[in-house]
Amino acid sequence: MSKIVVLGGAGAQGLFSIEALLQRDVFDEIVVASRNLERTQEVLNEKFNSSKLKAAQVDVLNKDSLMNLIKDADVVANCTGPYYTLAEPIIDTVIEAGKDYVDFCDDIAAHEKIFTPEREKLAKEKGIRLIVGLGSSPGTLPLTVLYASTLMDEVDDVTFYLAISDREPEGPAVLHHTMENFIGGVPVIKDGKRAVERDFEGEVYYDFGEPFGVLPISSIGHPETFSLPRVLPNIKNLSIKLGLYPIEIQRTLKILTKTGLTSTEPIEVNGQTIIPRDVTLTSLEKITPRTELFENEHPEPLSSSAIEIRGKKDGNEILFKTLGYGNMGPATGYPLAVGAEMLAQGKIEKIGLMVPEECIDPLPFIAEVGKRVHEAEYETTSNTEIITYVK
Ligand SMILES: NC(=O)c1ccc[n+]([C@@H]2O[C@H](COP(=O)([O-])OP(=O)(O)OC[C@H]3O[C@@H](n4cnc5c(N)ncnc54)[C@H](OP(=O)(O)O)[C@@H]3O)[C@@H](O)[C@H]2O)c1
């Protein structure tokens, strides 16, 4: 029996990790921490009825306070956000404390800051395991690519297609994440090299089938561009494309960007210097629920993801194609919980600072996550085709 500290566990996605952790008895103490103790306690009381749960107060940017909170934990799970500001300092404290760690960090900038040779060396010397990016994207989706790669001699092109409805529960962290990664140059892999696409460059239409249908989608900066080449270094083309539902959201974001309202470049307004993105984010955060902005029939389930993986097998072209529906919360929170349990049970053999693709066997992991999501009676579907073009 052991103890886990879940930072940001009462956030919109973190709550699903808590729900999944409560499905099993791997942890007998689950400490859920954030800056606002009262709100955390209230949310936990409202959603769960478990003596295993304890609320705690911490500002993760206060190193001493975080150190004190995690000192007797077996595993630290990080569901806070935005990751591009919070992940690096948290990981440094966790390494110093010598704890196993997992998060669902989906900011590529955070990945690039975190994975330095010094930290990777330090984590190995300490004999600890830190898994960065174990949600859905990143998380189970790039793990699916890793599985598909075992059916091929080489993987050439990988495209992720994501559709997310505005009805998905999301906190301010997701809003910041979307803005940060959609706008300001999007990293992709083109012809075997890292390249940057301009905002909304190469918008395409993708048919997600019912209930979303055809949506315009554009590239978003996501950690798969960083994580997958660590295990599949010969991928030639890789991008992650996102469509927001209803279509008006994508269009509005595009217009805001064209008018400079998502820019982080300071501008002068009536003698005051302001950052346009700060104004936009502050205004959007005040609209709750944001779903009231657009009237629309909302689909169920609320998210869809597809992956197309092209490669070669015995000289023939091969296409591995998968399309599924589900909800973002369980798809994000459940993998982190299963990963945390594996850490506590000593089921992650490799040590060091790692992306999931480096330390998790994809098929049993995806199967376990699927089992747990179904156990909680969430609606999901998934359909996979493997097509071989014989020469
Ligand atoms: N990998 C994936 O598949 C995936 C999918 C979806 C989302 N995500 C990522 O998940 C993250 C969380 O999203 P969300 O919708 O759950 O956001 P959220 O509702 O805003 O949750 C963030 C949580 O972090 C806490 N927090 C923020 N700053 C803190 C600080 N300085 N110290 C302590 N706690 C702090 C917040 O509580 P207080 O305000 O009380 O401190 C809250 O509990 C986002 O960064 C998002 O990009 C990943």
DSSP 8-state symbol, 139: B
Does residue 348 contact residue 359 with C-beta atoms inside 8 Å? yes
Ligand 1: centre distance to CA 282 (Å): 16
Strands 381-389 and 316-326: antiparallel
Which atom number of ligand 1 is nearest to the Cα of residue 35?
41
Each residue's pLDDT tens digit, 129-164? 999 999 999 999 999 999 999 999 999 999 999 998
Determine the residue of 41, 107, 162, 174 to mutate for testing ligand 1's pocket, defined as the one with the most ligand atoms within 8 A of the Cβ atom. 174
Q: Strand pairing of 154-165 and 75-78?
A: unpaired
CB 181 within 8 A of CB 173: no
Determine the distance separating the centroid of ligand 1 and the alpha carbon of 365, expressed in angstroms.
Answer: 24
CA end-to-end distance (rounded Å), the chain: 56
Alpha carbons 18 and 11: distance in angstroms, whole number: 10
H/E segment holding residue 235:
none
- Which of 7, 13, 65 to mutate for ligand 1's pocket (most ligand atoms within 8 Å of CB)? 13
Tokens of 97: 């404390």
Residues with CB under 6 A from ligand 1: 7-8, 10-14, 34-36, 39, 58-61, 79-83, 104, 106, 135-139, 170-174, 177, 328, 332
What are the distances in angstroms from CA 125 to CA 70, 213, 233? 20, 50, 26
> Which residue in the block uniquely carries the two structure tokens 């249908």?
213
Q: Tell me the two tokens of residue 173.
A: 């962290």
User: Going residue by residue through the chain (391 aa), what tens digit of pLDDT does each one get?
Assistant: 799 999 999 999 999 999 999 999 999 999 999 999 999 999 999 999 999 999 999 999 999 999 999 999 999 999 999 999 999 999 999 999 999 999 999 999 999 999 999 999 999 999 999 999 999 999 999 999 999 999 999 999 999 999 988 888 877 777 788 888 778 789 999 999 999 998 887 789 999 988 788 999 999 899 999 999 999 999 999 999 999 888 888 888 889 888 999 999 999 999 999 999 999 989 888 876 666 677 767 777 789 999 999 999 999 999 999 999 999 999 999 999 999 999 999 999 999 999 999 999 999 999 999 999 999 999 999 999 999 988 7
Q: Do residues 227 and 138 make contact, with C-beta atoms less than 8 angstroms apart? A: yes
| Kind plus residue range of the DSSP H or E element containing 103 | strand 100-103
How far apart CA 245 and CA 222 sit, in angstroms, is 19
Gap from CA of 222 to ligand 1 centroid (Å) = 17
97: CA distance to ligand 1 center in Å? 22
Distance between CA atoms of residues 75 and 379, nearest Å: 30
**CA atoms of 372 and 376, how far apart (whole Å):** 6
CA of 319 to the centre of ligand 1 (A): 36
**Beta-bridge partners for 304:** 163, 325
The ligand 1 atom nearest the CA atom of 86: 31
Please state the pTM of the whole predicted model.
Answer: 0.94
Q: Which residue has the tokens 């015995």?
A: 314
Cα 174 to ligand 1 centre (Å)? 7
Which residue, among 159, 182, 252, 243, has the nearest Cα to 207 in the 3D structure?
243
Counting from 1 in the atom list of ligand 1, the atom nearest the Cα of 332 is 3
